[in-house]
A = this chain, B = another copy of it.
């Protein structure tokens, strides 16, 4: 077989060299940027990935040609340079070129100790990384002439050969070893787990050594100019004398501060000129690379060399502040600042977080359903939660799963933990709505309802009153209290979102059911309420009693009497809501859930109810049973209740209109949007509209005040989407309730899907949980059909979505493209949605639609 010519495809990194991230890797490209900034970067040669691949497959490189770039008897290092720094790579090897002759020469110029240390470092690196010898054998605490001799002898004993003396050979061996390591299975799996494609390639850089070991002020260190957790301006980093490479990580305790510091010596004290030059380089780096960089540097006898620079690793909070500060300093544009912050990163800024650096005693894991951390005592019932809250004692509500009757308990708790459920279970949805840290589906904890105990997999037992912490960001349940970071709704946060609002081209409203929710929505600068679910209002103590009387009424007159008691409470709800939302639209969904949700589930509950209603228990039980349904999701709820028991909607409409009049009397102005749930036929809308108009006329007459209102439809059934053309005849807006629409399109109850959703996603049956990420192909097509047909009937029809999907960037992208007017999401997701919408407007501008 004919020997192939050695590869000569490599390039010295100069300002004008052709270096690209795709071919040479991020490190090579970064170094070229530093070179272009005229920073003191040691001479560097970049090997593109094609070259590295060739080496891995057995071809030889023109190593003498590489070494020729570094002058006489050079020492060099080799470092990995994949396209993305997150993909890892083989270990760096330093001091290539060391051999007996070079050692002898260095003894002359740098002294015995430095020469020994440099040589020993290379022998260790080579033996372990290239020759793959046992690292233990080359683990030597303190470099010395003896240690060097031992290492060389150990090498010879193991390899049956002398340590290689030829620098070109040394370099070739190192390169081949690193190229092949990249192809190994474990390296491949590791980088793929971080998102690398299957064909991810490796570049390598060969760099002249800045030794850091030798005469005068010598050593290595790292510097950055912001706090990586807060993003605030602050020099941090360390310097370690007589060190190179990763020494500072291994011997951090010996490192010194960079700036003058009362706690100990600093580089600024030791070598003010060098420090001053370093600070200057850092500042130039930020301005020119348009980013906060962490700089790796080496000092050789007071001479500074910049070895490398990477983006400062940062928390979400720091990332946001850095972007805003760079834009404020004119280094990047506001648009760039917007794009530098990942929308999903915002959600963790809205809640206190369990400090990721603090120790944690993890006792169980579940689905991270609502972000943030909370510590409290365990309570196992809503009643206990309320009692705990009334004592001022923060509590975590622990349930097998939550039901609407737990709402008050959830309001009283600081966090929620359920054994069952998925991302869209009741606990999760309400948790996110309340901004309450929540873990659901914690199936490795078992909740013993009878004995009121929580038992972990390993058998640890928690009882009511024990302190736990839920980390809704990670899904971890921790024993005891954990250290917390406060939420970060600071000026940088508000500034960035105001910039985002300037560029986005789709509205963002909030789902808000109570005045408290509305206040949150207002705080997060939602452009109105897109979904106010009125039924939660009826779970409050006093109202629940009236609700139940209404449910058990024998005649329409009795029903009307019970509803008349609810009317003033409903009206007050709306007055408060309208006052908070002054000047912004409020979309109110009429009563939706099946009536049996308002009845107690337990025998005791029924007995109490029978007493409260002064009826025989058998009667109450029989009626409660008669109301039970096989599939409540598909039963007597929504507009079906509105048609069969129209008094409920009449009462709600009266409350809304009287609230409008009341707010108007106080000088405010509001045009309420009334939304009909669970529509499946045009006639339903027609019938409700007739009654709403009649109620409006009565209120206008009674109050002598005129007002306007809008009537629209929540599109939750596939049929409503298909018949949107008819329905839009009577509706001025359509809001797609993608939760229910997804349930019905898939034939999938979100409360029951948890049982197989994991299997389904793992086996690729569904690419994602469709309750989490909008199913564009199925549900999405119904949205498009509904939107198109609706607008054909009514050109100015307002279109929106208001399901749990509303705040997802994917859904926002879909709705923007479909020409929707707004999306509505949990208040706590509004900031994320505002930012995501801005990203889309910048990255995927819509064609100018004016004509």
- Residues of chain A touching chain B, judged by Cβ–Cβ distance below 8 Å, are 629-636, 640, 643-644, 678, 680-681, 683-684, 687, 716-719, 722-723, 740, 743-749, 751-753, 755-756, 759-760, 763-766, 775, 777-779, 781-782
The answer, among B629, B687, B745, B779, for a CB contact under 8 Å with A752, is: B629
A634 in contact with B636 (CB, 8 Å): no
On chain B, the residues within 8 Å of A716 by CB distance are 747
Q: What residues of B have a CB within 8 angstroms of the CB of A643 in the complex?
A: 756, 759-760, 763, 765
- With A678-B747, A745-B718, A747-B717 as contacts: A764 and B683 at CB distance below 8 Å: yes
> Which residues of B sit under 8 angstroms from A629, Cβ to Cβ?
749, 751-752
What would 10 more interface pairs be, CB under 8 Å, given A635-B749, A716-B747, A740-B747? A629-B752, A633-B633, A633-B634, A633-B747, A633-B749, A636-B756, A640-B756, A680-B745, A681-B766, A687-B765
Is B765 within 8 A of A684, CB to CB?
A: yes
The CA-CA distance from A763 to B684 in the complex, in Å, is 9
- Contact status of A634 and B683, CB under 8 A, knowing A760-B643, A781-B722: no
Please report the C-alpha to C-alpha distance between residue A630 and residue B629 in the assembled complex, in whole angstroms.
9
**In angstroms, how far is the closest chain B Cβ from the Cβ of A135?**
43
Most buried by B among A631, A747, A778, A782: A747
Check B719–A752 contact: CB distance below 8 A: no
Query: A747 — which chain B residues lie within 8 A by C-beta?
Result: 633-634, 678, 680, 716-719, 740, 744
Contact between chains at A723 and B778 (CB < 8 Å): yes
CB of B687 within 8 A of CB of A631, answer no
Specify which of B680, B765, B775 is in contact with A778 (CB 8 Å cutoff).
B680
Contact A745 B719 (CB under 8 A): yes
Q: How far is the CA of A612 from the CA of B717 in the complex (A)?
A: 44
Contacts of A766 in B (CB 8 A): 681, 683
A-B contact pairs, 5 of them (CB 8 A): A630-B751, A636-B756, A643-B756, A681-B765, A718-B745
Copies of this chain, tallied across the complex:
2
A779 to B680 alpha-carbon distance, docked (Å): 11
Closest to A778 in B: B719
User: Complex Cα distance A191/B363, Å?
Assistant: 77
Chain B nearest CB, measured from A45 CB (Å)? 49
In the bound complex, CA of A752 to CA of B749 (Å): 16
User: Do A634 and B634 touch across chains, with their CB atoms under 8 A apart?
Assistant: yes
A644–B778 alpha-carbon span in the complex (Å): 22
Q: When the two chains form the complex, which single residue of B722, B746, B749 contacts A631, counting CB atoms closer than 8 Å?
A: B749
Q: Is the CB of A722 within 8 A of B778?
A: yes
User: In the complex, which residues of chain B have a beta carbon less than 8 angstroms from the beta carbon of A633?
Assistant: 630-631, 633-634, 747, 749
Interface centre among A751, A763, A765, A775 (most CB of B within 10 A): A765
The CA of A749 and the CA of B640, in the complex, are separated in Å by 12
In the bound assembly, the distance between CA atoms of A535 and B70 in angstroms comes to 79
Task: Flag if B630 contacts A756 (CB, 8 Å).
Answer: no
Inter-chain CA distance A12–B211, complex, in Å, is 130
Question: Is A752 a contact of B718 with CB atoms below 8 Å?
Answer: no
How far is A683 from B762 in the complex, measured between Cα atoms in Å? 12
What is the CB-to-nearest-CB distance from A762 to chain B, in angstroms, rounded to a whole number?
Answer: 10
- Beyond A633-B634, A683-B764, is A644–B756 a contact (Cβ under 8 Å)? yes
How distant is the Cα of A722 from the Cα of B779 in the complex, in angstroms? 9
The 5 closest A-B pairs by CB, nearest first: A634-B749, A635-B752, A631-B749, A719-B778, A717-B747
A749 and B630 in contact, given A756-B643, A765-B684 (Cβ under 8 angstroms) = yes
Contact of B752 with A630 in the complex, beta carbons under 8 Å: yes
